[in-house]
Structure 1
Amino acid sequence: MSDEHRPVAVVTGGLRGIGRAILDELQARGFCGACVDLVEPDLAEAETPLPEGFRYYRLDISLVEEHQEVVDRIVADFGGIDTLVNNAGIAVRPPTDILDVQPADFDRSLNVNLRGTFFLSQAVARSMVASASTHYRSIVNIASMAAHIAAYDRAQYAIGKAAVSKMTQLYAARLAVDGIHVHEVRPGFIRTPMTAAAAPRIEEIVRDAVPMRRWGTPQDVARTVATLATGGLPYTTGESIWVAGGVTIPQVR
C-alpha cells in the first residue's frame, strides 16, 4: 500500500522502549508516519532503523513554541495525521520524597509529561479537525499506574500522569463530535530501560501483587495502542485502559 493510502501516525518518544514497540506494531498494522523524539538518531549506524514508512522528526515536546512547525512538516510530508500517540515522558531520577521535591524538578517533569503533551495534542487536534480523513482518527495518551497509586517518592510524575488522565476525558468530550476518539492507556510494571534501575524491588512486587505474575512488555502496551488506533474499540472514548496484569484487582491474602 502506498503512503498516500495508509493511515498516518505520530508517535512521540518513539526511538526506544515502549515508543519503539508502538512504532513497530503500528507499521505492522499498515500505518506510516512520524517518529518524534528529542534524541538525534544515527540511522546509518542504528541496529534497528525506523520501520518502513516512518520518518524521524526532532522535537523536545516541552518547547511548545516548536510544536506547530513540526506538525506542519508532518502534514506536508504525509498529507495529514490520523493518530497521535503521546508516549514521550520523563521519570523521576532519583526517586525523591514528596517533602524534598524542588520547584525546578517539578516544573521540568510537568513541562514534558503534561504541558508538552497537552499542547502537542492541541496542535494535532486542530489539524485533524480542519481536514477530512477516511481513516479512524484518535489520540492515544500513555499514562501510568502512577496516576492511580500513591507513589509519594515520584510525586511530580504521578501528578502529571493523573492530569493526563483528566486531559484525556476533556479532549475526548470536545473531539467526539469531530469523529476523533481519545484514549488513555495506563501501563503497569513494564520492563524497559526506564524501569531497569528499580528492577530488583519491582520483581518482588510483581511476584506478590500482580495476578499474572509477570512483568509487562513494551509489546503488551504496543498491541493495546494499535488496537485503539485501528478502531478496535469503536464505541469507546475518554476511558482509561489498563495494561497491568490485573494489578488493580483487590486481593485478600
Structure 2
Amino acid sequence: VALITGARRGIGKAIALGLARAGFDVAINDVGPSAELDAAVAEAMATGVRAAAIAGDIAETSGHSAILDEAERALGPLTTLINNAGVSVASRGDLLEVSEASYDRCQSVNTRGLFFLTQAFARRLLARERVLNLHHSIVTITSANAIGVSINRGEYCVSKAAASMVSKLFAARLSNDGIGVYEIQPGFIETDMTAPSKARYDKLIADGLTVIKRFGKPDEVARIAVTLATGGLPYTSGQAIAADAGLLTVRY
C-alpha cells in the first residue's frame, strides 16, 4: 500500500498510476478535495486495485497523523511513502528581491512538511511488525535544482537541496531496519508547474542545455519510482537518481 503526496496530477499522478499498475493499492493525496483528485483515484481503480482520495496539506504538520490514519483505514497498513508534494516560487525574480513569505512557503512544503511526514511514517513502520516479503520504502521527489542553481528562484533551490539532505538522513537512519530510502531528481518534465517556462527551455534544450534534447514525461519519472518502490534496487539506499536528460552531466 502506497501513499503518494501531491498526486492529483503531474508526476505524482503518474507515480500513483504506475504503482497501481504494479499491483499497489494507492492512497492519493492532495491539498484538498477536487475533481482532479477524484479522477486520479478512478483511473487507479480502473487498473483493478483499491484506491482512496486523501485530502490534507503537507505543510500542516499537525494533520500528518490524520493523513496517515485515513490512508490506513481505507487501504490497510502502508508500506510505501512517495514524497511528491511540492510548490514552486510565487514568481521568479532577482535573488536579491526574494521575500520571506515566498521563502517560507517553499520551506513549509518542500522541506519542513516533507521531513515531519517522513518522520511520522517511519515511526509507524518501526513500531509494528512488518510483512517480511514486502518491500518497505520512502521515495522523495526533489529536483535537479537540489544541485543546479537557478538564481531566479533561489528559495525553491534551497528547499530542494534541503529535501535532498532529508532523504539522505532518513536513509542513514532507516536502511538497516529494512526500509529503502531513495531520491529522484527530475529535470525538465512536462507538467503544469513547468508550463510557464516551457517555451524558453525548449529553445535552451535545442541549443544543448541537456544531453537528451527534449522535455521528459511524468511517466518517465514514475518508472523510476516504481522500480524503487518494488525493491528493484535492493542493495541501494540513500542515492539520488537523476531523471534530467543529462542536464547535470559535466561537459567540456
Structure 1 residues 113 and 241: alpha-carbon distance in aligned structure 2, compared to 1, 3 A threshold? same
**Aligned-partner residue type, residue 56 of structure 2:** L
* Distance in 2, Cα, partners of 1:33 & 1:46: 13
Kindly indicate whether the alpha-carbon contact (under 8 Å) linking 2:88 and 2:106 is maintained by their aligned counterparts in 1.
Answer: yes
TM-score (norm 1): 0.92
* Distance in 2, Cα, partners of 1:171 & 1:43: 31
Structure 1 residues 35 and 47: alpha-carbon distance in aligned structure 2, compared to 1, 3 A threshold? closer
* Distance in 1, Cα, partners of 2:140 & 2:204: 25
Does 2:11 align with 1:28?
no
* Distance in 2, Cα, partners of 1:28 & 1:9: 12
* Distance in 1, Cα, partners of 2:25 & 2:191: 24
Q: Secondary structure at the match of 2:241?
A: strand
* Distance in 1, Cα, partners of 2:43 & 2:21: 12
1:169-190 CA-partner distances (Å, limit 9, x unpaired) = 1100100121001000000111
Partner of 1:49: 42
How do 1:53-132 residues align onto structure 2 when only pairs under 5 Å count?
53-131=50-128, 132=130
Structure 1 residues 127 and 47: alpha-carbon distance in aligned structure 2, compared to 1, 3 A threshold? closer
Shift of 1:73: 2.2
Does 2:227 align with 1:234?
no
1:48-71 CA-partner distances (Å, limit 9, x unpaired) = 834111100110010000101221
Provide structure 2 residue ranges, at least 5 long, that are not aligned to the other structure.
none
Amino-acid identity (%): 39
**Aligned-partner residue type, residue 140 of structure 1:** V
* Distance in 1, Cα, partners of 2:160 & 2:29: 20
Q: Secondary structure at the match of 1:49?
A: helix
1:124-166 CA-partner distances (Å, limit 9, x unpaired) = 1111111212310100000001111111111111011101111
Shift of 1:77: 2.7
Kindly indicate whether the alpha-carbon contact (under 8 Å) linking 1:189 and 1:206 is maintained by their aligned counterparts in 2.
Answer: no
Provide structure 1 residue ranges, at least 5 long, that are not aligned to the other structure.
1-7
* Distance in 2, Cα, partners of 1:176 & 1:249: 28
Moved more, 138-147 or 122-131: 122-131
TM-score (norm 2): 0.93
Partner of 1:40: 33
Q: How many residues align?
A: 245
